[in-house]
Every structure is written in structure tokens, then in C-alpha cells.
Amino acid sequence: MGVLALQGAFIEHEKMLGKLGIRTVEIQQRGDLEQHFTGLVLPGGESTVQGKLLRDLNMLEPLRQLVAGGLPTFGTCAGLLLLAKHVEDGDTHLALMDITAKRNAYGRQLGSFFTHAEMTGIGTIPMTFIRAPYIESVGKNVQILSEVNGHIVAAQQGNMLVTSFHPELNDDLSVHRYFVNMTESGHSLDQAADIL
């Protein structure tokens, strides 16, 4: 499994995948994209910084082509913003997933919080939010997987899975296991054409 390792909480994702017996490779430069990996994790962190680094390292377009071509991709928090086609008050980067995201949506007072909520296909799971975005609206090919307080916090479109929260910061492996299952099923590749 590839993990974008430019900035943010990539090591935590590597640890979670390791607990599931998945070997990870860190994606830090353009040449790393030529390695064989069956899925890609875009971690939380700072989406503006990650987007700038992807451009500076000439990684944005090849990464975009991989995801558009059907590579199963999981974006958490900043990773959600990287994938979003529309970002309120912010720049778009990969712009592949038909969602409109709101940056730092919970404001300062609710900047970080913890809850348990239902996620379709998994059940009730712990959710840690840190200055999180949420999804304001979704396109017709996007499946909403979870809502918290009336806001969409998890969704899937074909080979792309996103969460506003940080599943890598809890002990529960359910969300990572869900993503690993996506990488092992062929359905996500069939839906790649729906993205563009």
C-alpha cells in the first residue's frame, strides 16, 4: 500500500495498515509512484502544504492519473480536501471526487472533538475530528457513508474513499480494513470512468 508521506499523519496510517498485515511504501517523490502498490492513502495534515509540495515535486498530475485510472485511494481530512472537486474558500488539487468540501468547517471552538457514529458497511466506530472539513454536498455517483450532526463526514465514489475524521488516531481498525477490502475487490476499477 502506498502512503503519501510529504506531510501530516502518514506514520499513523502505516502503523494501522501494519496491524492488518499490509506492507506500506512511502511516497515522497515522483519516482516513488513507479513502485507497485494496490492502494494509496492520502493522510491528514495541511492540504495547502501538501498540494504545494505535490506541485513543486511534479507529482500532482501523475498522481491524478493514477487515481483517475482506478487506483483505490483513501483520503482522511486533508486527503479529503486533496480529492475534492470543489473546496469552499480554498484551492482544489487532484479535483477528482464529485464533492464540495468546507475547510476547517467546525471552527475554533469545535476545532477538535471525539464521538462514536455509524458508518455504512462497518457499524458504529470511534471518530476523532481535528480542525476537520466536512462535505457540504455530493454528486450523483457519490455514496454517503456517514453523517455526524447533519454533516457528511464519510463518502465513497468508485475507487475513492474519504473521511473528515482520523481513523488512524484510534485503535479501531475497521475503516482501514474497509479500505483494504476495496483494494482487493475489482469493483473500484470498473467505476473509474464515472470520475471524470
The pLDDT value recorded for residue 194 is: 39
What burial letters (b/e) apply to 54-83, b meaning 16+ CB within 10 Å? beeeebbeebbebbbebbbbbbbbbbbbbb
Q: Is 184 a catalytic residue?
A: no
CA-CA-CA-CA dihedral for 62, 65, 69, 75, to nearest 10 = 80
For 167, half-sphere exposure in the C-beta direction (CA atoms, 13 angstrom radius) is 28
pLDDT (tens digit, 0 to 9) for every residue of the chain, 196 residues total? Answer: 999 999 988 999 999 999 999 999 999 999 999 998 999 999 999 999 999 999 999 999 999 999 999 999 999 999 999 999 999 988 999 999 999 999 876 655 556 899 999 999 999 999 999 888 999 999 999 999 999 999 999 999 999 999 999 999 999 999 999 999 999 875 443 333 333 3
Q: Would you state the pLDDT for residue 190?
A: 36
Active site residue 168: yes
Q: Give the helix/strand (H/E) hosting 10.
A: helix 10-19
Q: Tell me the C-alpha distance between 38 and 128, whole Å.
A: 26
H-assigned helices in 33-172: 47-56, 60-68, 78-83
Marked catalytic residue, from 13, 93, 166, 176: 166
**Is 93 known to be catalytic?**
no
